[in-house]
Structure 1
Amino acid sequence: MKKIIITLILSPSLSLAQIPVTDAATNGQLVLLNKNIMALQGQISSLNGNMATLIKLMQKNVTATTNSSQSISQEIAAKRTAASFVLAAPEMAQLIHLKEKILEAYHGAKKNLDDYSFLDEKERKEAENYLGEMIASLSTLLVHAKTMASTPDLVDPSARLSQIQTIVQKMEGVLNGVIELNKKLAQRNEHRKAIQTVITIN
């Protein structure tokens, strides 16, 4: 009985003696937990910084892509529409002037063919065929010029102007061809007329 009483008296002392040990262990775990939480907070802070940087880079990339897309859209729109400087270029005015000159030369040559009485039938037929080819060539060139000036295809404005310049040069060739034919026929007719006059006088 004595032992039981002593044990009961000492029990609270024994259990009190273990509290500091438990507190020390818990405190150690709390310190370790605090260190881990601080380390985790540092990693989260670093991650937040990295995320902020990444978001800024992504925003820049989106802005750059949008600007690039707008620039490409504008470039495509410019290539699909004849620039005002192409339509107002001297070559366009020259093209219209050349068309009128060619038609004038053509009608003059056709009239002269009717008036030149010293040309034979073969010469007349060859001249008419040549004039027909020149008019067909003029028509093709004018269609090409109209297409270059107004096509919605992707064509750089400077390329449009370059094509118009080439067409103008070809039209100059057509005009010169008709003028040369007219000169040749006039000379031939006058030469034969002169010979006929000499024969008639003699």
Structure 2
Amino acid sequence: MKNSLLLMMLILQYPLLSQIPVTDAATNGSLGLVNSQLIQNNIQLKAMNKNLLRLIQLMEKNNRITTNSKDILQEELEAKKKTPSYVLQSSDVSQNLNLKSQIMDTYRILRQTVQQYDYLTSKEKQEFLRFVTEVILTTKNLFTQGQHTLTTPSLLPPGERLNKIRNINADLEVLLKKLQEYGDRLAQRNALRKSKRSIIQLNEPQ
């Protein structure tokens, strides 16, 4: 009986013992597959890391380029806000200063001269003073516009600054011409009246 039980146990355990190598082989195969997948994943991760590193480097390079571009653009903007020396030293700017000086000098001379004209009426002299006052105020405003054009920090190209100065100069030339013509008319009027007065005095009986 005991021999039968022992034999039975051996028979039952035999299939279990015979499956161990099979189970180990399957496990090894699974581990090999997993290892293979891990290796592939590592390769893919390395490739992704490499690509990511390149992407980061490109982004950093682009950032540097963008930063440099912004710096250059900022420098260009700042440069446009300033009037170049060749504009400040141009003949147009010199003419602007000269025209202002000519108008002021002509005004001072005429104001003194007209007051000495004995053959002009008080009304004529008052009209002259109102006219020259308007000329001086307009000259001052135009000259102020010119200075603002040359010194303003706004984005104004050099060529546009020069064009504005030229236009102001044209207006100043008109004012100077009007002032000179007005003075000439008063001088002629005074001289004519003086001449007539002299003729009358000559014809008066002594």
TM-score when normalising by structure 2 = 0.84
Task: Say which is worse superposed, 40-49 or 122-131, in terms of deviation.
Answer: 40-49
Offset, 1:135: 0.9
Structure 1 position 134 matched with structure 2 position 135: yes
- The separation in 2 between residues aligned to 1:143 and 1:35, in whole angstroms, is 84
Paired residue type of 1:54: L
Task: Say which is worse superposed, 4-13 or 53-62, in terms of deviation.
Answer: 4-13
- The separation in 2 between residues aligned to 1:187 and 1:49, in whole angstroms, is 95
TM-score when normalising by structure 1 = 0.85
Structure 1 counterpart of 2:146: 145
Structure 1 position 188 matched with structure 2 position 180: no
- The separation in 1 between residues aligned to 2:94 and 2:101, in whole angstroms, is 11
- The separation in 1 between residues aligned to 2:4 and 2:161, in whole angstroms, is 118
SS at match of 2:119: coil
Which digits, 9 at most, give the CA deviation of each residue in 1:30-64, with x for residues without a partner? 23213321332243133224313321331232123
Q: Is the 8 A contact 1:78 1:156 kept in 2?
A: no
- The separation in 2 between residues aligned to 1:57 and 1:176, in whole angstroms, is 67
Gaps of 5+ in 2: none
Offset, 1:10: 5.4
Q: How do residues 164-183 of structure 1 correspond to structure 2 at under 5 angstroms?
A: 164-183=165-184
Offset, 1:79: 3.4
SS at match of 1:5: helix
Structure 1 position 41 matched with structure 2 position 42: yes
Count of residue correspondences: 202
Gaps of 5+ in 1: none
- The separation in 2 between residues aligned to 1:7 and 1:177, in whole angstroms, is 140
Task: Say which is worse superposed, 182-191 or 7-16, in terms of deviation.
Answer: 7-16
